[in-house]
Structures are given as structure tokens and as C-alpha cells.
Amino acid sequence: MDEIKSKIKTMIDANNVVLFMKGTPDSPQCGFSMAVTNILKHLQVKFEGVNVLESNEMRQGIKDYTDWPTIPQLYVKGEFIGGCDIVKEMFEKGELKKLFESKSLLS
């Protein structure tokens, strides 16, 4: 368990934007993961997708790490931003774009 925790920490520290999702950014396997992927693509923000379906350990590990029961989960600069509902709401209110802008993540 500690091993998966440090693996997750390394991933979110090494990448500005990380999405833990079902499937891959090019081929999401769940509607909620697809919704968040589409938002990130729309904002043209570069992100690293981690497919939790490839590893049961990762699928459970990320839920424990964040204390959050569902996938997808979005991390920006090491900070948990939210799941699908929160990301969608922030996007609709323009807050997500502002967040990325404030961290200089939009080209």
C-alpha cells in the first residue's frame, strides 16, 4: 500500500496536470472520465492520463490516497481539484480556465 502511495505521489509531483481515469485520454472507458477528458482537451491543457483499469492496486490506491470514492480524479500541481461533478461545475463557471491560467498551464 505504501508503495502505491509513493507511486501516486511521484506521478502528481512530476506532472502539472494528472487525470486518474478509466481508459486513456484517446479512448475513455466511462462517461465521467470522458467528460473530464473532453473539458481538458477543450481548454487545450496538457495532461497525463493514468488508466486505473490497468491496475486494481492503482484503482483502489487513488481512492484511498484522496479519500474520494470515485474515478475520475483531477490533480493540478499536486493538488486534488475534484471529481467529474466539481470539474464540470468549475468549467461551466469559468473557474477551471482561471485556475490553469493562474498556474501558467495554458499555451
Partner 1 sequence: MPLTKNEISDMILSAFPDATLELKDTMGDNNHFEAKIISKNFVGKSKIEQHKMVYKALKGKMGNELHALALTTEEKNG
Amino acid residing at 41: K
Is the N-terminal amide bond of 72 cis, ω within 30° of 0? yes
Of the pair 10, 60, the CB lying nearest partner 1 is at 60
Tell me the closest approach of the beta carbon of residue 94 to partner 1, in angstroms.
15
Residue 63 or 103 with smaller CB distance to partner 1: 63
Smallest separation, CB 80 to partner 1 (Å): 7
Q: Least distance (Å) from partner 1 to the CB of residue 19?
A: 16
- 47 versus 75: smaller Cβ distance to partner 1: 75
Q: Which parts of this chain interact with partner 1 (CB under 8 A)?
A: 32, 63, 67-71, 80, 82-86, 89
What are the Cα distances from residue 83, in Å, to 52, 55, 88, 107?
14, 19, 9, 24
In angstroms, the Cα distances linking 28 to 22, 33, 64, 72, 107 are 6, 6, 22, 10, 24
In the complex with partner 1, the residue whose CB is nearer, 45 or 71, is: 71
Closest approach, Cβ 69 to partner 1, in A, equals 4
* C-alpha to C-alpha distances, 84 to 1, 8, 103, 107, nearest whole angstrom: 25, 19, 21, 24
